Amino acid sequence: QKVLENKLSELKLAEIAQWTEKQRQLYKKYYDELWQVRKVLATYHRIALVIQRQKQLVEQYKFTWKMVNQDKHFTKSEIDYMYVIYTGILNDSLYNLDQIMLVINSFKTQMSDSKRLEIINKAGDGIDKNLQDLQQFNNQNIQLSLNRAKDEHEVASVKKLYGLPTE
């Protein structure tokens, strides 16, 4: 009877072990799939932020470029120089967007997640730097125009042109 009880307990333990292993495999697959979804969502979130920054960069460029061309405090050669700088910033931002397109298209081809995230983060940091450079260059140009203004009325006109608050 003791041998029979031991054998029965052994069978029950084996059955419990099998059931536990099935549960472990089931949940492992479930959590692995969740992890993959989380990584993809994080990737798409970063891409959305990069695209939003690029849009912001283009909008700021278009606004400021229009204003610079209306500003009488800049010479033709200064505007030509600004054009070169703005074109460089925009071209660099387009390169960064091309890197994002490489990642998006790579979902169809082989690329490790770490490589994909590395490219996205590098391109995102590049777009952030492009936007920061554009804002800094815009601010320098606006300040130059304000410094060249001869009187309070002219300063107020420059501030109004660039959408700055007048005191």
pLDDT in tens, 15-40: 888 888 888 888 888 777 777 766 66
**Contact partners, residue 21, CB within 8 Å, separation at least 6:** none
CB 86 within 8 A of CB 160: no
Distance CA 164, CA 158 (A): 8
HSE-up of residue 87 (Cα within 13 Å, Cβ side): 6
**Per-residue model confidence (pLDDT) at position 152:** 80
CB 143 within 8 A of CB 68: no
**Contact partners, residue 138, CB within 8 Å, separation at least 6:** 60, 64
Q: Answer whether 0.75 is exceeded by the pTM.
A: no
Distance CA 93, CA 99 (A): 10
- Residues of the chain with pLDDT > 70, as a percent, come to 92
Q: How confident is the model at residue 9 (pLDDT cuts 50, 70, 90)?
A: confident
**Per-residue model confidence (pLDDT) at position 154:** 84
Q: For residue 51, give both structure tokens.
A: 């695209």
Least confident of 16-20, 67-71, 113-117, 152-156: 113-117
Distance CA 148, CA 75 (A): 12
Q: For residue 71, give both structure tokens.
A: 């500003």
pLDDT in tens, 92-121: 999 999 988 887 776 555 677 777 788 888
Q: Is the pLDDT of residue 132 over 90?
A: yes
Distance CA 77, CA 71 (A): 13
Q: Is the pLDDT of residue 49 over 70?
A: yes
Q: Is the pLDDT of residue 167 over 70?
A: no
Q: How confident is the model at residue 44 (pLDDT cuts 50, 70, 90)?
A: confident
